[in-house]
Amino acid sequence: MNVISFPRLGIHLNISPVAFHIGAKEIYWYALIILAGFFLGALFVTLTCEKRGIKKDTVWDVALYGLIFGIIGARIYYVLFALDEFDSLLDMLKIYNGGLAIYGGIIGAFLSTYVYCRKKKLSMLAVADVCVPGLLIGQAVGRYGNFTNAEVYGGETSSILGMSINGAAPVHPLFLYESLWNLAGLALMLAFRDKAKFKGQTFVFYIFWYSLGRLFLEGMRDPAYILYLIPGVLGISQLVAAIGVIGSVVFFVIMLKRKNGV
What pLDDT digit, counting tens, does each position of 163-208 carry? Answer: 999 999 999 999 999 999 999 999 999 999 999 989 999 999 999 9
pTM given for the model: 0.89
Element (H, E) at 87: none
∠188-194-199 over CA atoms, to 5°?
A: 100
The mean pLDDT value of the chain amounts to: 90
112 Cβ contact list (under 8 Å, min separation 6): 62, 65, 66, 68, 69, 70
Contact 197, 178 (CB under 8 A): no
- Three-state SS at 122: coil
162 Cβ contact list (under 8 Å, min separation 6): 6, 7, 8, 156, 170, 171, 172, 173
> Higher confidence at residue 87 or residue 74?
74
